[in-house]
Amino acid sequence: MAAILKSLAIFLVIARGAYGECTLRNLQVRQYGTGKSLKGYHEYSVSIFNKCNELCVQSNVKLNCSGFQTVEKVEPSILRVSGDVCDLNNALPITSDATVNFRYAWSNSFHFNPIFSDIHCYKS
């Protein structure tokens, strides 16, 4: 029994190394003020990157949007606000090193925090 468990543990370590590790933490959110204003509010540019390895995509990405407000129209296919949760990229897959971008305008910046994604890793 111990030999089987040891073999299983070795297999899992090898498999993880082969396909890489991909977690919600691999979604990186960066934003900055553009220096522009809209209706008296500061404009911000947001970029969300998938930093997983090339074998993994993240889809159905959801962000915590509790309290998010904007006077700038954000394309709903990019960011759809539904109560305290925002759907990103129409729930479509975000591939490795892909970026989803949008802009919004408000009196202060908002911290977009990824709270969920479906992660799919493929064999090479």
Measured CA to CA, the distance from residue 48 to residue 11 in angstroms comes to: 33
Structure confidence at residue 112 as a pLDDT band (50, 70, 90): very high
Residue 76 lies in a domain: yes
Structure confidence at residue 6 as a pLDDT band (50, 70, 90): very low
pLDDT exceeds cutoff 70 at 5: no
Structure confidence at residue 21 as a pLDDT band (50, 70, 90): confident
* CATH code of 37's domain: 2.60.40
The range of the structural domain enclosing residue 116 comes to 24-121
Q: How many C-beta atoms lie closer than 10 Å to residue 118's C-beta? A: 12
pLDDT exceeds cutoff 50 at 11: no
Residue 10 lies in a domain: no
Residue 14 lies in a domain: no
Residue 18 lies in a domain: no
What is the pTM assigned to this prediction?
Answer: 0.81
Measured CA to CA, the distance from residue 31 to residue 29 in angstroms comes to: 7
- The distance from CA 115 to its chain's CA centroid, rounded to whole angstroms, is 9
Residue spans of beta strands (DSSP E) within the chain: 27-38, 41-50, 56-64, 79-82, 85-88, 99-106, 113-121
Q: How many distinct structural domains can be found in the chain?
A: 1
